[in-house]
């Protein structure tokens, strides 16, 4: 997550996830995932699958944590409480870890290859798990929002970086994070640090124009999928994408919970986080 807002923790093994206690701010452990599965050989290429009660098949939310695309910030445990809250609402969740800047193979293009491969791995999981792959949403928080929108944009890329596209989400959810790399360049990059995007991409837009063009979802509008936008602390950074998506003809539904900040929007123990989980369940899945 954004550097000033979340603890700096690096995932090394899959462990029970954390949830935020609304009254005290303490972290408590939600129930463990139904299944921890690997979608690649790298230690960071794994995900936690949570299934709702019942027989299924269940709609699925792919969940992407944030952290400025940096290995020293954010991890899949940050979004585990949201993943569990969605599972409690009848939605299977695939909460994934992925390589980022600062880890071997992370950044451009490895991070994008990972989130594409992790999404497509649902087709493998569906062979043994009750998953409805016709109803998949991709949900991202912080810089994970940019990655979630990018996953939804894959059919429009016309480039091998898109991967096999074995699974095509019908909804993309951006939770308090930008839909393009622009807001995290230059003076607007204070939250993540001036060099966050250039470090992640391996250069500036002038140095790597094709990579930036492929990596920015806003450049591939209309995405042709239902889009949900949740605003916490980064409304100004999200506004250019929202305006462009609406102008392109895409369907966009926005939620701005009262009292929301960058962190409580993914903490279902808070009123704001509960509202976000309810919003996703209702708007993306009709639950």
Closest among 273, 3, 4 to 139, alpha carbons compared: 273
- Picking from 70-84, 179-193, 227-241, which range would have the lowest pLDDT averaged per residue? 179-193
* Whether pLDDT at 5 is above 60: no
- Given a cut of 90, whether residue 42 has pLDDT beyond it is yes
- What mean pLDDT do residues 15-30 have? 36
Report the CATH number that the domain containing residue 69 is assigned in CATH. Answer: 3.40.50.1820
* Amino acid 9: pLDDT: 26
Distance, in Å, from the CA atom of 44 to the CA atom of 103, rounded to the nearest integer, reads 9
Residue 189: band (very low, low, confident or very high) from pLDDT cuts 50, 70, 90 = low
Question: Is residue 23 situated within a structural domain?
Answer: no
Mean pLDDT of all residues in 255-271: 97
Question: Domain range for residue 205?
Answer: 31-285
Instruction: Report d(CA 267, CA 83) in Å as an integer.
Output: 10
| pLDDT tens readout for residues 91-105 | 999 999 999 999 999
- 3 in a domain, yes or no? no
Per-residue confidence (pLDDT) for residue 32, from 0 to 100: 72
pLDDT at residue 53 is higher than 80:
yes
Q: Residue 272 falls within a domain, yes or no?
A: yes
Asked if residue 192 is part of any domain, the answer here is: yes
48 within some domain: yes
| Calpha distance 86→94 (Å, rounded) | 11
- Letter string b/e over residues 191-204, b meaning 16 or more CB atoms within 10 A of that residue's CB: bbbeebbbbbbeee
Quick one: three-class SS letters along 81-140? HHHHHHHHCCCEEEEECCCCECCCCCCCCHHHHHHHHHHHCHHHHCCCCCEEEEEEEEEE
C-alpha dist (Å) from residue 258 to 12, 20, 255: 36, 18, 10
> What is the tally of structural domains in the chain?
1
Please tell me the predicted confidence (pLDDT) of residue 13: 27
Alpha helices in the chain (DSSP H): 80-88, 110-120, 122-125, 143-153, 196-201, 209-215, 235-248, 271-285
Would residue 15 count as lying in a domain? no
In a domain, 214, yes or no: yes
Q: 143-153 and 110-120 helices cross at what angle (nearest 10)?
A: 60
Smallest Cα–Cα separation from 139: which of 211, 59, 220, 239? 59
Would 264 be classed as within a structural domain? yes
C-alpha separations of 149 from 124, 142, 152 in Å: 22, 12, 5
pTM score above 0.75: yes
Q: Tell me, what's the pLDDT at 183?
A: 67
Is the model's pLDDT at 139 over the cut of 90? yes
What percent of the chain is predicted at pLDDT more than 70?
A: 85
């Amino acid at each position: 997550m954004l550097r000033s807002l979340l603890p700096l923790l690096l995932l090394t093994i899959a462990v029970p996830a954390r949830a935020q206690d609304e009254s005290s701010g303490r972290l408590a452990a939600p129930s463990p995932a139904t299944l921890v599965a690997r979608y690649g050989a790298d230690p960071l290429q794994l995900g936690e699958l949570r299934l709702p009660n019942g027989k299924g098949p269940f709609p699925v939310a792919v969940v992407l944590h944030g952290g400025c695309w940096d290995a020293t910030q954010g991890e899949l445990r940050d979004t585990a409480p949201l993943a569990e809250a969605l599972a409690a609402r009848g939605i299977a969740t695939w909460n994934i870890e992925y390589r980022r800047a600062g880890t071997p193979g992370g950044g451009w293009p490895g991070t994008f290859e990972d989130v594409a491969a992790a999404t497509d791995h649902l087709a493998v999981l569906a062979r043994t798990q009750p998953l409805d792959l016709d109803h998949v949403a991709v949900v991202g928080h912080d810089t994970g929002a940019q990655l979630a929108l990018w996953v939804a944009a894959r059919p429009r890329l016309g480039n091998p970086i898109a991967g096999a596209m074995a699974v095509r989400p019908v909804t993309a959810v951006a939770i308090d994070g930008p839909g393009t790399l622009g807001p995290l360049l230059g003076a607007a990059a204070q939250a993540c640090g001036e060099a966050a995007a250039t470090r992640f991409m391996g250069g500036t837009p002038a140095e790597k124009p094709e990579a930036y063009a492929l990596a920015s979802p806003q450049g591939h509008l209309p995405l042709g999928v239902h889009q949900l936008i949740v605003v916490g602390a980064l409304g100004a950074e999200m506004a250019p994408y929202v305006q462009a998506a609406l102008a392109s003809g895409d369907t966009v539904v926005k939620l701005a919970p009262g009292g929301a900040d960058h962190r409580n929007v993914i903490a279902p123990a808070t009123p704001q986080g509960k509202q976000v989980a309810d919003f996703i369940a209702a708007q993306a899945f009709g639950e």
